[in-house]
Structure 1
């Protein structure tokens, strides 16, 4: 059986940007950096032989179909989408959560936009600093698995057009809307956006940074679900992210405080 290091090296030999992961969180700072070379991969996986593997979506993008997303089934959305014939066979994996991710090469003549919430329960992950877990990574005892080993094909122009056409702007739209709606508190609001973009900072201040971020977003009227997603983005961007337990405890505590402030808790 191939080791995680051998898998990582094989991905890298195909020109892919490999990331070492703890569960689903990056172990290294990677934004806008070049891909790991063979020496670096060997060093990391020698030290952490069981580290999971993710690939940055630099030269490819992924259509991520979730089984359930707040009650929305991505498989139903794909089935009901009138242009689903554009989703031709390509490299596809089953995720640890039971969803599917279809891998398409980006086009040189038509840029595809990242689109979280493209369809209900379906995301398009395309930003060069986004990433997807890949086999044989395991999360909570469940493994990622290639279910269609067809070559990764180049996305058709019509597919790219449809993805860009239905751009929801879920992430960037919410942030920009909050920015323009809070001009009176521009300096503090700017800091919140910078935390989302740059992460929670050094290990000693991560919990405080998360507390301030969640509290600041809720105070400015950002919805609870959206606040959690933005907080997850900030934590995932951090060089040394908080553990799932620490993250959940801090976020839940701030949500309870906000509900009490509103008189709902």
Structure 2
């Protein structure tokens, strides 16, 4: 097994967040921490000379395609059922067990949600604290030298729609009689189900944020709920739009006598 420190440094020089791993387990704590510097990488690999390399999915996400012969699940067949325009040519690698990973840059105008079980045999790894093992780690090999291209909007929308659909699904045998509805019922269902169709999303978002602040929800918690609600929307608003709407509603709440709670 060879020392991969020079490969790790090359990834770091390209602006990627490098992690040293053994097997598939990180050798350092990294969640919500800055990426390793070149000097830190040298220090880590001096301590762990045979560490393999992983990259955090903070700037890019990965469509992870696999085959499970035991369960007769073929991720490659699942991908073929979707429009080819969803998956333009990009940097691609093969994995240890014959799978394939497509690397796409995250879009600046909309968030892509991590979705394990995006399709049968296909996962989307996108959380900033997730990571993927990369070549030349043992068992991994680049299929091409193409640049990582920005994900098509159509792909991101489809991923987010699938995630929202999965969240809304419930067991078929779950039968219950709901209690009487009220405004809090509507508020909670908006958070769970998303902001609705285009043309109504901004109004729904503003109303939801206002309702949370009116009920005394701390600003930080209200913001997180607004982001969750937007993520649950099949065609979510750009993150910048959510931020602008939240700041506007927060200022309005303060003018109306609210207090800065948890800001």
TM tier relative to shorter chain: 0.5 to 0.7
Alignment partner, residue 71 of structure 1: 72
Does the Cα contact within 8 Å between 1:57 and 1:128 map onto a contact in 2? yes
2:163 aligned counterpart, secondary structure: coil
What is the aligned partner in structure 2 of residue 80 from structure 1? 81
Change (3 A) 1:26 1:107: same
Counterpart Cα distance in 2 of 1:129 and 1:172: 25
Aligned to 2:100: 100
1:169/1:126 CA distance change after superposition, 3 Å: farther
Q: Which whole-Å CA distance do the structure 2 matches of 1:112 and 1:67 have between them?
A: 24
Cα distance in 2 for residues equivalent to 1:25 and 1:169: 31
State the TM-score, normalized to the length of structure 1: 0.60
Q: 1:3 to 1:172 in 2, by over 3 A?
A: farther
Q: Is the 8 A contact 1:116 1:168 kept in 2?
A: no
Any gaps of 5 or more consecutive residues in structure 2?
Answer: 171-263
TM-score by length of 2: 0.60
The aligned residue for residue 59 of structure 2 is: 59
What does the per-residue CA deviation read over 1:118-173, in whole Å, with 9 as the maximum and x for residues that have no partner? 110000000000000001111xxxx2000021100001111111111111687999
Structure with more helix by fraction = 1
Which consecutive segments of 4 or more residues in structure 1 shift more than 4 A? 168-174
Cα separation, 1, equivalents of 2:111 and 2:164: 16
Matches within 5 A, 1:166-177: 166-167=162-163
Given the superposition, is the C-alpha separation of residues 25 and 74 from structure 1 closer, same or farther in structure 2, using an over 3 Å criterion? same
- Residues 75, 30 of structure 1: alpha-carbon distance in 2 compared, 3 angstrom cutoff: same
Q: CA deviation at 1:85?
A: 2.8
Provide the rounded CA distance (Å) in 2 between the counterparts of 1:162 and 1:16: 26
Cα deviation, residue 3, structure 1: 3.9
Equivalent position of 1:30 in the other structure:
30
- 1:112 and 1:164 in contact (8 A); partners too: yes
Structure of higher CA gyration radius: 2
Q: Which runs of 5+ in 1 are unaligned?
A: 175-265
| Number of the residue aligned with 1:152 | 148
Native 8 Å contact 1:116 1:171 kept in 2: no
Which residue of the partner structure matches residue 236 of structure 1? none
Query: Conserved in 2, the CA contact under 8 Å of 1:16 and 1:56?
Result: yes
Q: Hey, what does 2:161 align to over in structure 1?
A: 165
